[in-house]
Amino acid sequence: MTLTNFTMPGFTHFYCSLFRFRHEFRSAEAAGLTYTLYTAIADSCRYKKPDAQIEECGRMEFYYNLKKMERRPYRTEVQLYRAAEAILAELIIDALTKIQLMAVLKLSCMMDDMELRFYKAFDMEIDDPRTVYRECVKRLVPRGDEPGVCMMQDWINLPSA
């Protein structure tokens, strides 16, 4: 089992994006949620493969790395949504603690709210073919060529550099 999708740089992108797109998060709250999801993924991986050697940062080391690493937030809400999907896809509920389950619930509620806000803003679902949903990867570290806009038509019509 590899955790290449869930590296410290990936979690840093996710953490920074919580500020950019989710205004209810302050630094400590965003760091706490990110760390809890990080441990939930590690615990899920251990549950899937008990013999796997998974190195896990402690809370203080994780927080230090979040602050030290300079990573940009995702460009769009769609990227944040896809990152959240990637986290949820790796979790095994039976492997999680109550605190981790609460973090998963918070993430799920955040995604529901993102879907609702997206629908209100664009009058379509976030995964509609007219959005850039399919162009964004379902992982924490985005590709460099992912769209910086939410709508496919806007991305197609951007002037090339």
Tens of pLDDT along 39-82? 999 999 999 988 878 878 899 999 999 989 878 899 999 999 99
Distance CA 83, CA 51 (A): 27
pLDDT at 1 over 90: no
Indicate the pTM of the whole model.
Answer: 0.91
Rounded to whole angstroms, how far apart are CA atoms 117 and 119? 5
pLDDT greater than 60 at residue 83: yes
Q: How confident is the model at residue 159 (pLDDT cuts 50, 70, 90)?
A: low
**118 is written with which tokens?**
């997206």
Count of CB atoms situated within 10 Å of the CB of 101: 14
